[in-house]
Amino acid sequence: MSNHSLKTLLRAAAAAVVLTPVNARAQDFLPFPDPPMGGKVGPTMQESVHRWREQPRHLPEDAPNILIVMFDDAGFGQPDTFGGEIHTPTLSRLASEGISYNRFHTTAMCSPTRASLMTGRNHHRVGAGIIAEFANDWDGYSGVIPKSSATIAEVLRYYGYGTAAFGKDHNTPVEQIANGPYDRTPTGRGFDYFYGFIAGETSQWEPTLWKNTTPISMPHVDNYEDFHLTEAMAEKAITWMRRHLAMNPDRPFLMWWTPGAVHGPHHVAREWADRQMQGRFDDGWDAYQKRVFERQKAMGWIPADTVRAPRPEGMPAWTKIPAKERAFQARLMEVYAGFLEHTDAQVGKLIDELEARGFATTRWSFTSSRTTAPRPRASTAAWRN
């Protein structure tokens, strides 16, 4: 993701939240200093006055809630929102009410894009030039976000936000997993609560899960399709949201919701994969790319003079795939499409919950950490006010 695009995104959020009352100003240093004692100490208890100190509010009354959703390995030409052929009604719903960007760049890898989005900085400036498992001691590739680079969660929490992260975390240094000191795990980077997995990928049926800094077991179900991590993420996020609003109705929240989808393994219930069986992928990826490319031109989503990218080296033409293998390859595409549509539906649960509670002041960002299209040039984001 380009530094310019990241700054644009984070400034949009910051413009809404880092505003202070008329009698205050933006803070140059965080955390804020502790307020002075509210009472007065006299020579004796009888001459002393006890008064609870007043905690100053650093946010305007209408500070918005913020929901950031990041898909993984979702390509520019996949959602039907932007000319693809995979049904994404939640993304379409947000795009129709907000702003969409067609040159919203990613770094094309998991850890770097997440570090950039989280800090608003170039990924090399925050030690994330490569995925966490391949970290080394070259400058920019350490896999450790330095303490000199605050995350959006850290800053917003200092200003009074409740913060929570759900799903994939790929920015925890490997040596801190289950070993501490836990200061660079999600809860060490500004999130009050974390539920998800700390890795590049995990099974959606039998995931390796963490709650804050503690490994937890997944529910034991009779049918493996009765539990799905993305569905659990939506349920946990809604539960956290309700609890936060019940206990802290005057505090806005930042929710970072980043599923493993649609990174492999592509796990989704058969009913979702079977929804894609209309033969739309039977003529292969080359025909699909051509259809989507022409549709995006007709929509004005890409310039009329755009030249279609050539097939990547090492990827065979569909016509070179043996006829007996094509049904299998088409089924792989159906499973992927079902996985994406299913994940979009889980985001819809979050949006429905917020709308049911009447939140008019909410900022949404819906993007992808990297694309799978040939020569990926952009990801997409939709903002809703």
In a domain, 260, yes or no: yes
Backbone angles phi, psi at 365, to 5 degrees: -130, 130
Asked if residue 306 belongs to a domain, the reply is no
* Residue span of the structural domain in which 275 resides: 3-11+62-283+323-384
| pLDDT at 33 (0 to 100) | 92
Beta-sheet strands, E only, within 45-105: 65-71, 98-100
Residue 86 in any domain: the answer is yes
Tokens for 343, please give them.
């994940």
Residues 6+ apart with CB under 8 A from 7: 120
* pLDDT at residue 157, as a whole number: 97
Query: Could you give the CA distance from residue 238 to residue 347 in angstroms, rounded to a whole number?
Result: 11
Is position 217 within any domain?
yes
State the pTM of this model: 0.88
For the chain, helix (H) and strand (E) counts, in that order, are 8, 9
DSSP string, 336-364: HHHHHHHHHHHHHHHHHHHHHTT--SEEE
**Per-residue pLDDT at 359:** 75
Strands (E), the chain: 65-71, 98-100, 162-169, 193-198, 209-211, 214-216, 253-258, 362-368, 382-384
Domain assignment present for residue 318? The answer is: no
Number of domains making up the chain: 1
Quote the CA–CA distance of 188 and 194 in Å, as a whole number: 10
- In this predicted structure, what is the pLDDT of residue 200? 94
In three-state secondary structure terms, 75 is coil
**Distance (Å, rounded) from C-alpha 340 to C-alpha 281?**
15
Tell me, yes or no, whether 314 lies in a domain. Answer: no
Token pair for 377: 């040039």
Do residues 134 and 176 make contact, with C-beta atoms less than 8 angstroms apart? no
Instruction: Please list, residue by residue across 357-382, b when 16 or more beta carbons sit within 10 angstroms of its beta carbon and e when fewer do.
Output: eeeeebbbbbbbbbbbbbebbbbbbb
Interatomic CA distance for residues 59 and 63, integer angstroms: 6
Q: Are 134 and 140 in contact (CB under 8 A)?
A: no
Question: Beta strand pairing status for 362-368 and 382-384?
Answer: unpaired
CA angle 100, 229, 179 (to 5 degrees): 105
Neighbours of 331 (CB within 10 A): 14
Task: Quote the pLDDT of residue 360.
Answer: 58
In the structure encoding, which two tokens stand for residue 9, read together?
A: 């995104």
Low-confidence residues of the chain: pLDDT under 50: 1-24, 371-385
Find all residues with CB under 8 Å of 166, minimum gap 6, and list them.
Answer: 194, 195, 196, 233, 236, 237, 240, 255, 256, 257, 258
What is the predicted pLDDT for the residue at 6?
42
Q: How far is CA 161 from CA 6, 138, 153, 158, 169, in A?
A: 21, 35, 8, 7, 20
CA angle 12, 18, 19 (to 5 degrees): 105
- Per-residue pLDDT at 25: 53
| Residue 263 DSSP label | S
Locus of tokens 């992260």: 165
CATH number of the domain where residue 260 is located: 3.40.720.10
162-169 vs 253-258, strand pairing mode: parallel
87 domain residue, yes or no: yes
Whether 56 is covered by a domain: the verdict is: no
